[in-house]
Structure 1
């Protein structure tokens, strides 16, 4: 129940919804019960063979006159007195009209309050979903990059979307059932006891048996629900991978393999859900069958009491009793259904709460300050970083002066990308420090630190939006002229004008409607618009044709003007004009200097140039 109350906390401020819901529900129960209570005086008065004791000249009943003890079972004793008066004064047609209008009014009010009760609960449901999904998504966005390297994207998507939806319905529906159905059940049972205590004791004997049987049926639901959520997450992961890599899948004729892999998970998920549904659906027929058995037993036992004439139970009371008891099964059945479905919700809730409980490993210090400006240099001092037992950087020390273009080169796995990722604190070193103008970057607020950096990656990361919004992503408040100016610097303005709607042209999922060179130039335009003093360029010209590379390279030169730039490149044309080159191999810096200096050393850099192998 601890998880349930944690999930319920997302409904706060719950009193905003709970108070009006309780009032509306109580009024609904009152008038709904009144509808059934009206049956007894209706049947007893209109279809009694006895003559009404009130003559035509009789006066209205005295409200101050106490009700006879024999009539305490009847909530509508006063109503029956009124019908007797009307029957004796105006006859059966008028009395029938009065009774029918009373029933219609009661039903109308009952449904009005039922509507308001449902409406308030729906507002609570939406409110809970809004808070829960916001909390989950915000926490996911705050997590460090390392978390996503060890998690399946489909599992995260499943928790944020379907699991949250399941939790929302379970929590609010259970909350509704916990209050409404027990209160309704209690009111009905009180009425039944007031009519015939002996008959009610007999009917309640079977309820504990019913509860034990239903509990046995739903015992394994939570375990199965957990398996179902995990399998569904795997399916989402396979779907995401298939859509992202559709070209590779078709290129390698792997369509059947991918379909088979998805189908295996699909079959597993279907089998689990089938078993769950069977158990859930079994609870309802079992409870209904037990209810019919109880009704049959009550008809038999109560009928004997009426026929014997030894009990105060009359025919009218007995019919009313059966009508009320038939309604007892509805809240009892709702409680059993809620008991079975809450296991599914708690299983999904546990997965959602686990995601919420994940804390980002990279956070601001309590006394972190804003990075106001970049004045002198960036320093790496004895920096060591490792993934588990594998060391990526080992005791690296280097200084990057302001305004210089520094290239990172070396064989694959040398630590180039890791060194670049350390600077914006995507990851943290295990040892050593990185400082800007002599201040450790961990003393700055992360957002402030990254605000001084621009990023252009090997993969052109764009969003399914317009060209304008993709460029303005770095500076949402930018004017149209600023966006155009950034596009001109990135050599993107001309091709943008040739698109269907210019800057308002949608580019599709991940920019699929654009060529590789066009996507990369939009990324450069986005970086230019942010106007950061420090640029981080990771393989920005890789996988481009010669013409596109020339346009992108020219855009990069414009981008790097009057800025400090840290670049990773695999082509000599990209790095040979760098002010400073750092050569990384086997986790350490083996050489550093200008292109000319490194060529003279005839070391690793010279060999890489000769082989033209700067691949990451």
Structure 2
């Protein structure tokens, strides 16, 4: 139950909802159970059971009626109305009281349900916010190891499961036991002996239902994992639809999804079979017990061994028939809570996931870039494979530095270390002499702009993609950034200019256009340091020229770190650093490295254009 109570902690301040809910639920229980309890005087009045003599006796003995005995008071007033207004008047009084009780009971039930719904929505909002907030703050390495579909399943589907399974149980925990107690009170008021015998059915029903739902937890775990796999397959299919069709893999993808879909369906069918079995079992037991009560009670009445009137006996049967309803609701809640707790454990595990990269408690902000970036004996490994080995470098302010080398040499890893997307296993990275582990990460990243090989755009307007992450940005500022990025002209040719929606991941634009939008976004940020990772490698010659012009505009008066292979991008760099097998193989200007006749010269010779 630790998981359950921790999930309930998201309902805070729970007393804001719980106190009025309990009050209205109590009133609903009193009114709703009283309606059935009033059947006895109604039937007795209707079928002339009792009469004027009983009424006089009731009036004489009125002082002996306990204040808490609702049934006795109601009998007294019923007989009183018979004396004053006759049986027709008493019948009208009883019917009026029943209608008023039903009306007030339903008002209280409506208000209690409204309060519970507010609590459920409030709890759901806080859980979903906690999950998403924590996911967004996790380190980049977490997303390399986890399937995106699994994360999506936890945020979207499993939070809903928690809402309706776990928080919904609150309603059962409060209301149904109170209803059960209310019915039992009335049953004991009518006949203690008959009630004690009748209660034998409840532990029997509880035992049978517990046996039925015993395996639900393991099935719920399997169902959640299977559903997460389906979401992952769906995400991969939609993201890679072009590759799927290009490699004629449509049937393979369909079969993979269908197989998981069948597996999930089998699990949910087995769960539903067990969950739905609880209701007919309890109902069968209930009807069996009611039949027994009719036989036993009838035997007592026929043989004059009970003082129950016909009206009281019928009211007793009606009350007992309702007794199993809250008991069944409690059983159903416990059968449903298993899936909710399993989903809750998965959600809490995601909330508890801590980012490996966190600011130190005394981290200081950095607001400007004055000198340069220095790497001292920096090493980094993926699992146990070293990618960078004791790298020592200095990137001076205002210079353009190119990182080149064979694939897998550690270029992208080195660049990812600068904004603390990842942490080195050893060594230090200094910005203006300050170790970045002593700086506030947000302020460090605000010094840097990013343009990657993959143009990361969002399903939004061109304006919002350029102004991404910023508020109070004017049209003039966005247009100025777009002009520097050579993007203004093609933007104005679109249907709605800067308000044109570019589709999912910018699919309505060409590769070169998407890249120039990304460059405009970086220009608008106006950072002193630019990190460019293969920004032109995926473009055709014409697009590359336009993007390269935009990059040249972007790099003016900035410190730029470029990962590139094409000579057109790197030959004018102030410093070229060659990384090979995780180490700095050589560094210098383009001409110096050509003359050195090393790794760089070999890479240039493999390109299809002349080195000069």
CA distance in 2, matches of 1:469, 1:444: 30
5+ long unaligned stretches in structure 1: none
Q: Of residues 83, 106, 109 in structure 2, which corresponds to 1:111? A: 106
Match of 1:473 among 462, 468, 473: 468
Whether 1:581 and 2:576 are equivalent positions in the alignment is yes
Q: Does 1:292 align with 2:287?
A: yes
Mapped to 1, the partners of 2:464 and 2:518 lie a distance apart of 12
CA distance in 1, matches of 2:576, 2:191: 96
Which 10-residue stretch deviates more, 487-496 or 87-96?
A: 87-96
- How far does the alpha carbon of each residue in 1:196-255 deviate from its partner, in whole angstroms, 9 at most, with x for none? 111111111121111111111111101110110011001000000000000000000000
Which deviates more from structure 2 when the two are superposed, residues 422-431 or residues 292-301?
292-301
Deviations 1:308-351 (A, max 9, x none): 11222221111111111111111000000011011111111111
Query: Are 2:192 and 1:193 aligned?
Result: no
CA contact (8 A) 2:51 2:79 kept: no
Taking the aligned partners of 2:216 and 2:189, their CA distance within structure 1 comes to: 39
CA contact (8 A) 1:474 1:526 kept: no
Q: Give the Cα separation in 1 of the matches to 2:42 and 2:464.
A: 71
Per the alignment, residue 27 of structure 2 pairs with 27
Counterpart of 1:66? Answer: 64
Does residue 386 of the first structure (1) align with residue 378 of the second (2)?
no
Q: CA deviation at 1:62?
A: 7.6
Compute the displacement of 1:474 (Å): 4.2
Distance 1:63 1:590, change over 3 A: farther
Please state if 1:361 is matched with 2:356: yes
Q: Quote the Cα distance in structure 2 between the aligned partners of 1:51 and 1:112.
A: 35
Contact in 1 for aligned 2:45/2:90 (Cα 8 Å): no
What is the SS of the residue equivalent to 2:64?
coil
Determine the C-alpha separation between the residues in 1 that align with 2:69 and 2:296.
21
Task: Give CA deviations for 1:477-504 in whole Å, capped at 9, x if unaligned.
Answer: 2211111110111111111111111111
Is this contact kept in 2: 1:482–1:529, CA < 8 A?
A: yes
In structure 2, the residue matched to 1:252 is 247
- The 1:263/1:306 distance shift into structure 2, 3 A limit, reads same
From 539, 543, 557, give the equivalent of 1:548.
Answer: 543
For residue 377 of structure 1, report the CA deviation from its aligned partner: 1.0
1:414 equivalenced with 2:409 (yes/no):
yes
TM-score normalized by the length of structure 1: 0.96
Q: 1:513 aligns with which of 508, 513, 522?
A: 508
Any runs of at least 4 consecutive aligned residues in structure 1 with deviations exceeding 6 A, and if so which? none
Offset, 1:54:
8.2
Within a 5 Å distance, the mapping from 1:39-438 to structure 2 comes to 39-53=39-53, 61=59, 65-67=63-65, 75-438=70-433
- Contact in 1 for aligned 2:41/2:94 (Cα 8 Å): no
Given that residues 37 and 74 in structure 1 are in contact (C-alpha distance below 8 angstroms), is that contact kept between their aligned partners in structure 2?
no
Rounded to whole Å, the distance in 2 between the matches of 1:441 and 1:63 is 89
- Aligned CA-pair RMSD: 1.8
Deviates more, 1:77-86 or 1:261-270: 77-86
The answer to whether the Cα contact below 8 Å between 1:74 and 1:195 also exists between their aligned partners in 2 is no
Q: Is the 8 A contact 2:391 2:583 kept in 1?
A: yes
**Cα distance, 1:455 vs structure 2:** 0.4
| Cα displacement (A) at 1:48 | 2.1
Per-residue deviation, residues 285-330 of structure 1 (Å, max 9, x unmatched): 1111111111111111111111111222221111111111111111
Displacement of 1:136 after TM fit? 0.6
Q: Separation in 1 of the partners of 2:574 and 2:60?
A: 107
Contact 1:474–1:530 (CA<8 Å) still a contact in 2?
no
Rounded Cα–Cα distance in structure 1 between residues aligned with 2:608 and 2:371: 33
Shift of 1:591: 0.7
**What is the alpha-carbon distance in structure 2 between the residues aligned to residue 253 and residue 54 of structure 1?**
91
> 3-state DSSP class of the match of 1:567?
strand
Separation (CA, whole Å) in 2 of partners of 1:61 and 1:529: 90
How many residues are aligned here? 609
- Return 87-96 or 554-563, whichever deviates more: 87-96
Deviation at 1:186, TM superposition (A): 1.1
Specify the SS of the correspondent of 2:52.
coil
- Determine if the alignment matches structure 1 residue 7 to structure 2 residue 2: no
Equivalent residue number for residue 529 of structure 1: 524
User: Does structure 1 residue 453 correspond to structure 2 residue 451?
Assistant: no
Contact persistence 1:384–1:395 (CA under 8 A): yes
Q: CA deviation at 1:78?
A: 2.3
CA distance in 2, matches of 1:248, 1:522: 25
Residue 567 of structure 1 corresponds to: 562
Q: Distance in 2 between matches of 1:398 and 1:62?
A: 106
Q: Which runs of 5+ in 2 are unaligned?
A: none
Alpha-carbon distance between aligned partners in 2 of 1:507 and 1:61, rounded to the nearest angstrom: 85
Residue 590 of structure 2 is aligned to residue 595 of structure 1: yes
SS in 2 for 1:391: strand
1:507-537 residue CA offsets vs partner (Å, 9 max, x unmatched): 1111111111111111000000000000000
